[in-house]
Amino acid sequence: MTDPVAGRVVVCRVGAERFALPITAVREIIAAPELTRIPGVSATIRGVANVRGTLVTAVSGRSLLGAPGTEAGDWLLVLTMRDGRVGIVMDEVEDLQVSAGARALPVLDIEALVLPLLAAEPGRA
């Protein structure tokens, strides 16, 4: 039997860049909460957010994609990795599509982009 969620993607936008994320990589999508900056970390890490009692490290979608401009980001995509303790700040979440419908969009390799940023965290793999 085929998994009903297999092949589905979340279509997002950061600046003018549109891309897709596998739905299996996204735990939840929330309106961007207030972020608390962490001193001494890369500017790519925007800060931490309290999401229902869990601290979530918020990573800049613009920095991940090399998009120009300042980031206001209206949405936080909380990822399934690290028990939902990491999220990406996005400008817009457009749609949920079957991957065939989003074929022209690049699919981000979240682990390759995000995990190196968090590798300096002690005790986390």
3-state secondary structure the chain: CCCCCCCEEEEEEECCEEEEEEHHHEEEEEECCCCECCCCCCCCEEEEEEECCEEEEEEEHHHHHCCCCCCCCCEEEEECHHHHCEEEEECEEEEEEEHHHHCCCCECCHHHHHHHHHCCCCCCC
Please give the domain boundaries of the chain with CATH numbers for all domains.
8-118 (2.40.50.180)
**pTM here?**
0.80
Query: How would you write the pLDDT of the chain (125 residues) with one tens digit per residue?
Result: 344 445 888 999 988 888 889 898 999 999 999 999 999 988 889 999 999 999 999 999 888 888 776 666 899 999 988 888 999 999 999 988 876 666 678 888 878 888 877 775 544 44
